[in-house]
Structure 1
Amino acid sequence: MDETADLYDFDDEKDENKFDFKKIVSENWIEPPKRERKRNYSESEYFKQTLRQSGPARPKEPRIPRMPQLHDFHFFNTQRLSELYEKEVRYLMAHQKNQVKDTIEVDEPEDGGDPLTAEEQEEKERLLEEGFSTWSRRDFNTFIRACEKYGRNDIQSIASEMEEKSEEEVERYAQVFKERYKELNGLLLHFKHDTNFYYDIPDYDRIIKNIERGEARISRKDEIMKAIGKNLDRYKNPWLELKIQYGQNKGKLYNEECDRFMICMVHKLGYGNWDELKAAFRTSPLFRFDWFVKSRTTQELARRCDTLIRLVERENQEYDERERQARKEKKLAKNMTPSKRAAARHAAASPPNTLKKRRQLLMDDYGGKKMTSGVFGNER
């Protein structure tokens, strides 16, 4: 053995003329045939193949169009669409029956009318495009709730509530809804007024009442914010200088500082944000040790705010009445003559005691004259 040879260096692998049995077998292998299984005789398969080969291919019959499902909130022109679909279906049904009768050799074909003209076909496609077929019942309910929350005119806020609809599509639907909402007659509500009487209220009436109720809440909220703003504008620093005319409704639980802070925070945060108002009380250093205010719930804070808002509105009414009276007096004084104006100023400037004395003097003079005339009359 050679000492310089490698341990893994075999001589048989280096033999290029060695006979490779596996290679020869793989190249000359013949695949045996597959076993053929007997199939059972089938008459249906036989006749199917026979008829397919012998009979000519029949032309496909025109497919009868299916009437799409038209919901009331889709706002389709259902009457016209139904007329067009009925005409088209009537013609196609008659056409199919006539084809069957031709194979049976019947001499009286059925008259199904004329097919849709090109203008009617275009009208049908246009009517289908005018509706809102992509709107589901869920989209419609979301739209109604958004109208109750933001009002029918706030399209941008309504579109923000609807995830899959663009603002342009929502605006177009809102316009159609405003014009054709009385077509929503899908649901009827039954209210039992008496044992024998029921009243049917259309669906649109219920929807519109809910929307109007929501819009009334929005309008009331705007009035409250305007009233608070008008009251605060009369003060340079309302956080410190605001004075509330309590009258008989001051109460013993809330102090004036707390009420002042509450009104100013409602003007800042907006009416109805009671959770934010409660958080403002809890974080304000003014009420760090006022555990009564910090422990109030949102409902209690809301009730107190409503009471203060009524006081503010009453104060605004009194202020407006005083201004109206002052303008009226100024207008009357402007139209008076100089002599009457001087007399009015003198009467307004004279104290009440002087007026009483003047009245007393006039009465005394009148009484003295009367007595004198009576005495002279008796002497005569």
Structure 2
Amino acid sequence: MRILFDARFTRTDHHDGISRYGASLIAALAETDDVVMLISDRRQLALLPDVPHVLVNSPLSPAELFVARRINALEPDVVVCPMQTMGSWGRRYPLVLTLHDLIYYQNPTPPSFLPLPVRLLWRLYHLAYWPQRLLLDRADVVATISDTTADLMRRHRLTRRPVLLVGNAPQPSERRRDPDAPRSASLLYMGSFMPYKNVETLVRAMALLPGHTLHLLSRITPERRAELEALAPAAGGVVFHGGVTDGEYEDLLDDATALVTLSRAEGYGLPIIEAMGTGTPVIASDIPIFREVGGSAALFVDPDDPAAVAVAVRSLEEPGRWAEASRAGLERAATYSWSASAEQLREACRHAIAEHGRRRSGPRGPAVPAQRAPGS
């Protein structure tokens, strides 16, 4: 199958969630399929697999309205975009668009790296569901990464197209925690500092955990850092890293008591599986998506209760409890892989090709039910 994969959402200096999702799927697909990438900046190639590519406009450019004309000439069997915003006017090819989550309808603050005009359009776009429906209905198949999002899409009637699951997965790691090895009294948070991430409760919990250190790993603005520092205990216990490399992240996971995330809403929660994959226990807010991703392996808490966080951390000090949580996490993480996700995407591509053919030849058949992601 000749798959044209839209890799223009790949970052140029470091992976974010969407960037890593796309790059990982491309690498897994390319093991068996003829994959060509669309890029908009040659610097993206540093974070992408070594497969053929075509340079086109940025997805944020006005030229995006007409990108289908360029793609038509490439004659792909199917086109896959890891976002839902790809231009499709005049397309003559099967198309799979991806909707990861619906977070920005409840939390409308756009990503800060987007240009100001795009951030303004972002806010307008998320004021109602109908613009989303217009975009998704221009696909042949819509992919999403979780049952939780698929259920929300059905609840809000976001598309008439078949919805199939193409799950997320952690990066392969050769490291595995030794349950008997010494570990520090450190807690890790990996993620952004947007309001719905609820890092405030995590920082407040540190006042109840003397002797423990909270490591906030991601990049943060000076203003946001000052807000969180004002909530930290006077005795310290909170360390701002301002960004870490993959190697540094693994080193910290190797030494930590737990990874902690208290989001009130989330699209997926990849750090949960990343931590479990190394044998590091996870403490997470009790929300549907984290229940889906973490299963029974994570320790779930009320995201608005710092005391509940402290109790969960202290519970890992009970004899045998840390080792039990570590083993459960390893078992859970083993149910996810990029090869399994790539096979889900191949199935979505086959459905898109069939749907595209039906739509061109006459009335379309019944919608395809969502398929479950591995581990769900």
TM-score of Structure 1 vs Structure 2, range by shorter chain: under 0.3
Q: Give the alignment's TM-score, normalised by structure 2.
A: 0.23
> Which structure: greater strand fraction?
2
Q: Give the alignment's TM-score, normalised by structure 1.
A: 0.22
> Which structure: greater helix fraction?
1
